[in-house]
Amino acid sequence: MYDGNAELGRNDECWCGSGKKYKKCHLEFDERLQKLAEAGEEVPPRDLLKTPEQIRRIKESARVNVGVLDLVAERIQEGVTTQQIDEWVYDYTTQQGAIPAPLDYEGFPKSVCTSVNEVVCHGIPSADEVLKSGDIVNVDCSTILDGYYSDSSRMFCIGDVAPELKKLVEVTKRSVELGLEQVRPWGHLGDVGAVINAYAKENGYAVVREFGGHGIGLDFHEEPFVSFVTRPGTGWVLVPGLMFTIEPMINMGKHRIDMSDPNGWTVRTKDGLPTAQWEVQVVVTEEGYELISW
C-alpha cells in the first residue's frame, strides 16, 4: 500500500479494530486512498487515522481538558497570577486521574501555557506575572488520560479591554470557526489555512508562520503540521479519521516573531504588538467533522 504497511487479504480482520473482515470494512476505503496517492495527492498514512475506539478514548481525555478550561473561565480575573492558573490546571487534571501534557514535556516546567498580550505562545506561568485590567491572555491546556491526548486553548479578556484588542480576540475566534467550515471529508488541509489567512488579512492582521496546528491523539504532536498560511486545494487530503488541531496565532502587527527569550520557550511578536490564539481539536468524519476539544 501507499503508506508502506502490509496489504491485507480480503478475508483478513480489518486493521481498524472493528473485528470485521477487511472486504466488508475498509477495503474500498483503502483502494480510494491508494488511487489518491498514485494521483500525487498527499494522503495520511493509515496508522494516523483514528479508529472509533481510539476516538472514544481521546474524547475521555478531552472531557478533562474542556473541564480545565471551563474552570479557568470561572476563576480568571484581574489580580490573578499566571502561577495560580497553573495550579488550578494541575490540581483539576490530576484529580481527574489525568496528567497535564506540557509538564516536563521537553523540559517545559509548568502544566499549562499562559501567553499574555504580545506573547505568541509558550508563556511560562509565574507568581510574578499578575493579570491586570486591559490584558488579553491565552490559556493553552493539554491533557493525557490513559495514554490518550487532547489539546485546546481559549482567549480571556481581563477587566476593561480596549476595543482594538477585543476585535483581535473576536476575529481570531471567528477565523477558527471559518477554518472548521472547511473541514470536510476528502477535501484538503490547505483549505483550512487559506480561509483563516484570508480572513486575518481582511481585518488588517498577520498570521504567524513558524507555529501552527498538529496531529494529535495517540501522541502530543503527530503529523501533519497544520499551517495557516496555505493555498486552497493543497496539503493533506482530509481523510475520515484524521485528527488535528486548528490553532492560528494572529498578530495585530506583522507576522514576525521573537524567539530570543532566555527561558528557551516564550515566543513574542517581533514588533511588541498584541497577538491572539484560539485552539480546537477536531476529527474528520464521513459527514464532515466532530469537535473533540475546545
Q: What does the DSSP 8-state code read for residue 229?
A: S
Instruction: Tell me which residues of the chain have a pLDDT lower than 50.
Output: none
Could you tell me the pTM of the whole model?
Answer: 0.96
Give the span between the Cα atoms of 247 and 175, in whole angstroms.
Answer: 9
Give the N- to C-terminal CA distance of the chain in Å, as an integer.
35
Residue-level pLDDT at 17: 87
pLDDT digits (tens, 9 = 90+) for 79-115: 999 999 999 999 999 999 999 999 999 999 999 999 9
pLDDT at position 7 is 87
Question: What does DSSP say about strands 257-258 and 222-226: parallel, antiparallel, or unpaired?
Answer: unpaired
Task: Determine the pLDDT at residue 277.
Answer: 98
Do the beta carbons of residue 122 and residue 113 sit within 8 Å? yes
Query: What per-residue confidence (pLDDT) applies to 6?
Result: 81
Tell which residue, 17, 70, 55, has the closest CA to residue 290: 55
Residues composing the chain: 294
Contact 83, 126 (CB under 8 A): yes
Contact 63, 69 (CB under 8 A): no
Q: Find out whether 188 and 235 touch, Cβ atoms under 8 Å.
A: yes
Contact 294, 66 (CB under 8 A): yes
